[in-house]
Amino acid sequence: MMPFEIACGSCGETLYWGMDLIPPREVLRAKRGICYNCGAKLSLDFVLEVIKCEAYKPPIRTMAVRNKATEVE
């Protein structure tokens, strides 16, 4: 199974990311029809792109977690 991402066509901001494929109409409803990053009006006129990506690795956000990660390696 692979993750799905819906991004703003104007700025590239991720509007949805997840393992469940949800209808674009649901994303528009959740975002109230605008991109919160750039203010662009979102519509159902979109381009579908399929991109093969490497496995998702979440970013290490805190120094404590980063230090533990380097100790394990």
Structure tokens at 69: 């990660």
- DSSP structural state of residue 35: -
Residue 22 has pLDDT above 60, yes or no: yes
The domain spans of the chain are 1-43
**Quick one: pLDDT at residue 55?**
65
**Quick one: pLDDT at residue 2?**
72
> Angle at CA 61, nearest 5°, toward 6 and 7?
10
Output 52 or 21, whichever has higher pLDDT.
21
| CA contacts within 13 A on the Cβ side of 9 | 12
* pLDDT tier at 65, thresholds 50, 70, 90: low
Output 2 or 34, whichever has higher pLDDT.
34
Taking the CB of residue 9, how many other CB atoms lie within 10 A of it?
15
Average pLDDT over residues 49-61: 66
